[in-house]
Amino acid sequence: MESFFKLTVEQREKTGNSAARSLRREGRIPANYYYKGEANQNLSIDKKVLHKAIQSGQQVFEMELDGNVIYVTVKAAQYNPVTEEIIHIDLLRVRRDVKMKFNIPLNLVGDSVGANEGGIVSQAATSIELECLPTNVPDSIDVDISNLELNGSLTAADIELPDDTALVSLEDTTIAVCAPPKTEVEPDPVDDSEVEESEETVSTEPGEGAKPSEGDDESSSDGDSTNTENEEKSAD
């Protein structure tokens, strides 16, 4: 990487939530600067400049601080949960002659053999971790999926890395897979002969209806006996 996006920063004396909100209303983003062996510094960055820097895809930026040109990378960032805009950022100084670890975005390119056969390609990992000099950080890496077959997969070991970079992620990290298309399972058709046979087995023999309970018989019998006795007394 020959050139770096330049960040213009200013020192900020006031800290805290109230001061941070005031800065944001002025179109500036609160920032903290870190470097081993140096005191941390409270800074602010123009919101539009920071947005352009992030959109550039670069991971290392040039910055002038205390009269010196230095190079920094984003250590951490806080986002507004609603607007998803950066509301605070931490910057870490890097040395151009010391290798560091960076997460590099991945782009799937090419037409998969498996996709041409009806398969569905999905990306399992959107980035991998590499170790390289800050001056040699790739903005992204293109992953050729042309040879990705149906039911096949690509791993980090299959990626062609840029020169002077080393893979930090595990080699067996899955990057992309090509799965067969999903098929809808149709219910088994109903056999009409089985339905007819089932209907024929329903019993239609007489005498299998509801039987009167023994209590009903006894009640009827008792009633007849009572009537007979009454008739005999009347006769007497």
Second CATH level (architecture) for the domain 101-179: Beta Complex (2.170)
Residue 114: predicted pLDDT: 93
User: In the 8-state DSSP scheme, what is residue 207?
Assistant: T
Question: pTM, whole model, 2 decimals?
Answer: 0.65
Q: What is the rounded distance in angstroms from the CA atom of residue 7 to the CA atom of residue 13? A: 19
pLDDT in the model for residue 197? 58
Looking at residue 104, the DSSP 8-state letter turns out to be E
* Both tokens assigned to 45: 């960055």
CATH number corresponding to 5-94:
2.40.240.10
Residues of the chain within CATH 2.170.120.20 domain(s) are: 101-179
Q: What is the pLDDT of residue 65?
A: 87
For the chain, 236 residues long, give each residue's pLDDT as a single digit of tens.
558 899 989 999 888 899 999 999 999 999 999 998 888 999 999 999 999 998 888 899 999 888 889 999 999 999 999 999 999 999 999 998 999 999 999 999 999 999 999 999 999 999 999 999 998 999 899 999 999 999 999 999 999 999 999 999 999 999 999 999 887 666 666 666 655 555 555 554 554 444 444 444 444 444 444 444 444 444 44
How many Cβ atoms from other residues are within 10 Å of residue 120's Cβ? 14
Check residue 195 and give its pLDDT. 54
Backbone angles phi, psi at 172, to 5 degrees: -90, 10
User: Range(s) for CATH 2.40.240.10 in the chain?
Assistant: 5-94
Report the DSSP pairing between strands 153-155 and 61-65: unpaired
CA angle 163–166–171, rounded 5-degree value: 125
Cβ contact 56:40 at 8 Å: no
Distance (Å, whole) CA 192 – CA 190: 6
- Cβ-proximal residues to 100 (8 Å cutoff; 6+ apart), any chain: 73, 94, 131, 132, 133, 134
The pLDDT, as a whole number, for residue 143 is 97
- Within 56-182, residue ranges assigned H as helices are 113-116
Q: Are 204 and 143 in contact (CB under 8 A)?
A: no
Rounded distance, CA 25 to CA 13, Å?
17
